[in-house]
Structure 1
Amino acid sequence: MSNEIKYMLNKQLAAIIADETNMIANLSNASALLSEQFSNINWAGFYLWDENDNELILGPFQGKVACIRIKEGDGVCGTALKEQRSLIVDDVHLFPGHIACDAASQSEIVVPMIKDGKKIGVLDMDAPVKNRFTEEDRLMLEEFVSVLLQHLHI
Structure 2
Amino acid sequence: MKKSITTLDLNLLLCLQLLMQERSVTKAAKRMNVTPSSVSKSLAKLRAWFDDPLFVNSPLGLSPTPLMVSMEQNLAEWMQMSNQLLDKPLHETPRGLKFELAAESPLMMIMLNALSTRNGSTNDTRRRPSNYVTGITIP
TM-score interval (norm. to shorter): under 0.3
TM-score (structure 1 length as normaliser): 0.26
TM-score (structure 2 length as normaliser): 0.28
Give 1 or 2: higher strand fraction. Answer: 1
Give 1 or 2: higher helix fraction. Answer: 2
**Bigger RCO of structures 1 and 2 (CA < 8 A, at least 6 apart):** 1
Tell me which structure has the larger Cα radius of gyration. 2
